[in-house]
Structure 1
Amino acid sequence: MIVVATADFEVYHGAVNELRDRGTEFTTIEPDEELPDRATVVVTGDDHADAFTGVTTIVADPDDPRRAVDQALAAVRGDGGRTIIGVDPGRRPGIAVLTGETVVAAFQVPLGDAVDVIQREAGDAPSPVVRIGDGSRLESAKLVNELDTVRVELVDETGTTPYLGTGSRGMGDVLAAVNIARLEGEVVDDREIEPTEGEIQVIKDRSRERSEHNRAIDEVLARRVAAGELTVDEALSEHRGAGSDSAPESTETDDSSDS
């Protein structure tokens, strides 16, 4: 059983609220009280980090009680506590955080925010690993290349997207991320991708959709977007700065031929 034993007001309320939200059995005591017989894990603050013997002690950060509760639950279940983060890449990647075999958090965020989320979740976890699906080549390459402080594995994501029944719309990417997290992949430090003509055209089309003047960026800028050097918005800004938006873009084609 988990015991919350702390005199720190913020740690107490943060941990208790997280445990209640999870529907977890726990109890609370004062730090100087005797532990219950069933106690196996204690969540406490810095002031009492060494006060408890014979049980696993988790020292909670008052600004991040969820991480302490994740660690406490992993200790109770005997999962080993390793943090594995699965990522289903795309323009809005699905991200699943597993501690042992338990899913403890899930996200779906814009691609530009994904690295920050992943790094935050890896945090101070012991030996974390990030497993990224090998689909959506450009987006997965961007993630692999920017995650340079954590072990990254590239996973064959074939078959990881589940069938979605009624009422489950929007869950596919996150569920795929869970499945990706449970598959071992190839350890990679970087991923170099030569974008296809089709991928370049998709980027141009996206830039046209976001442009105030219905103008697409040129191929040079599109390739920089594909390489992760620029976002579409940054490429549009450079495009405007070069004066491209001020001149009309020709959409005519010359169909004449010599006779």
Structure 2
Amino acid sequence: MIVVATEDFELYHDAVAELRDRGVTFTTIQPDEPLPDGTRVVVTSPADHVAALAADDGPGDGDTADVTVVRATGEEARRAVEEALASLRGSGGRTVIGVDPGERPGIAVLSGETVVAVFHVPLSDAVATIEREAADAVDPLVRIGDGARLQGATIVNEIEDVPVEVVDETGTTPYLGTGTRGMGDVLAAVNIARLEGERVDARDVDPTDGELQVIKNRSRREGDANRAIDESLARRVASGELTIEEAVEEHRDEE
């Protein structure tokens, strides 16, 4: 069982909310109270002094050697809950982040075999989301699908300090029944996270004529003069050097 033992209101509030959202069995105590029987993980803050742990006066026969202590600030409540759950599962805390690339990538964070967080964000926010989730993880790994080549290459090339594997994403998007619209990218990301891939440090992609035309067509729709950007700007967009908006603005300035 997870026990939240803290006088930090923000940590208490956010950790309890996270645990309730996930349907986890837990209880709360004051730091100076004894640990309940069955305590396996204690979530507390760096400033808290959990008397039962310090005095080795824990649950049952008083042995707290098997109790895992997770210390976190209020801003780290979700990370603390994920670490506590990983400890309960005995997964060793390995975090794998699956990414289904595209204009709005699906991102799934797995600890062991358990999905602990999912996101569906604009491409411009994908790398920041991935790096934030990997920041406090033990031995993190990013697995990204090999579809949507241009967007995938942009993500791979911008990720820093986290190992990346490119995965064959064939068949990773499941059939979506009634009421599941918009979930395909996230579910594909979960499946991608569970597949082994090829380790890469960077990904160079030479855009096809068709991919460049798609970028030009988007620039025409998003511009205010119904004019497409030229091929050189489209290539810079394809490489991730510019966003569509930046390319349209640069094209406007050149006229």
TM-score by length of 1: 0.91
Deviations 1:176-210 (A, max 9, x none): 00000001111110000111100000000110110
Aligned match of 1:45: 45
Aligned match of 1:84: 96
Q: Is the 8 A contact 1:148 1:189 kept in 2?
A: no
Question: Shift of residue 220 of structure 1?
Answer: 0.4
Aligned match of 2:184: 172
Q: Is the 8 A contact 2:44 2:70 kept in 1?
A: yes
Q: 2:218 aligns with which of 189, 193, 206?
A: 206
Q: Any idea what SS the aligned residue of 1:63 has? A: helix
Please list, as runs of the form range in 1=range in 2, the aligned pairs for 1:91-110 lying within 5 A after superposition: 91-110=103-122
Which region of structure 1 is more displaced relative to structure 2, 41-50 or 213-222?
41-50
Paired with 2:13 and 2:50, the residues of 1 have a C-alpha distance of: 21
Paired with 2:49 and 2:243, the residues of 1 have a C-alpha distance of: 45
One-letter identity of the residue aligned with 1:117: T
Question: Shift of residue 10 of structure 1?
Answer: 1.5
Larger Rg: 1
Q: Is the 8 A contact 1:3 1:43 kept in 2?
A: yes
Judged with a 3 Å threshold, the aligned counterparts in structure 2 of structure 1 residues 204 and 84 are, in CA distance, closer, same or farther, namely same
Instruction: State the number of aligned residues.
Output: 243
Aligned match of 2:165: 153
TM-score by length of 2: 0.92
Question: Shift of residue 119 of structure 1?
Answer: 0.7
One-letter identity of the residue aligned with 2:30: E
Of all paired residues, the percent bearing the same amino acid is: 68
Paired with 2:81 and 2:41, the residues of 1 have a C-alpha distance of: 10
Question: Shift of residue 27 of structure 1?
Answer: 0.7
Aligned match of 2:10: 10
Judged with a 3 Å threshold, the aligned counterparts in structure 2 of structure 1 residues 124 and 178 are, in CA distance, closer, same or farther, namely same
Q: Is the 8 A contact 2:102 2:123 kept in 1?
A: yes
Which region of structure 1 is more displaced relative to structure 2, 112-121 or 28-37?
28-37
1:194 and 2:217 matched:
no
Q: Following superposition, which runs of at least 4 residues in structure 1 exceed 3 angstroms of deviation?
A: 48-51
Which region of structure 1 is more displaced relative to structure 2, 17-26 or 217-226?
17-26
Aligned match of 1:242: 254
Gaps spanning 5+ residues in structure 2: where? 54-63
Q: Any idea what SS the aligned residue of 1:128 has? A: strand
Question: Shift of residue 213 of structure 1?
Answer: 1.1
Aligned match of 2:61: none
One-letter identity of the residue aligned with 1:202: V
Aligned match of 2:56: none
Q: CA RMSD in A?
A: 1.2
Q: Is the 8 A contact 2:107 2:186 kept in 1?
A: yes
Question: Shift of residue 81 of structure 1?
Answer: 1.5
Aligned match of 1:61: 73
Please list, as runs of the form range in 1=range in 2, the aligned pairs for 1:110-125 lying within 5 A after superposition: 110-125=122-137
Q: Any idea what SS the aligned residue of 2:138 has? A: coil
Q: Any idea what SS the aligned residue of 1:47 has? A: coil
Aligned match of 1:256: none
Aligned match of 2:19: 19
Paired with 1:33 and 1:122, the residues of 2 have a C-alpha distance of: 34
Paired with 1:12 and 1:166, the residues of 2 have a C-alpha distance of: 38
Which region of structure 1 is more displaced relative to structure 2, 66-75 or 218-227?
66-75
Question: Shift of residue 49 of structure 1?
Answer: 7.0
Aligned match of 1:126: 138
Deviations 1:113-160 (A, max 9, x none): 101111111111111011000111101000000002211111111110
Paired with 1:72 and 1:93, the residues of 2 have a C-alpha distance of: 28
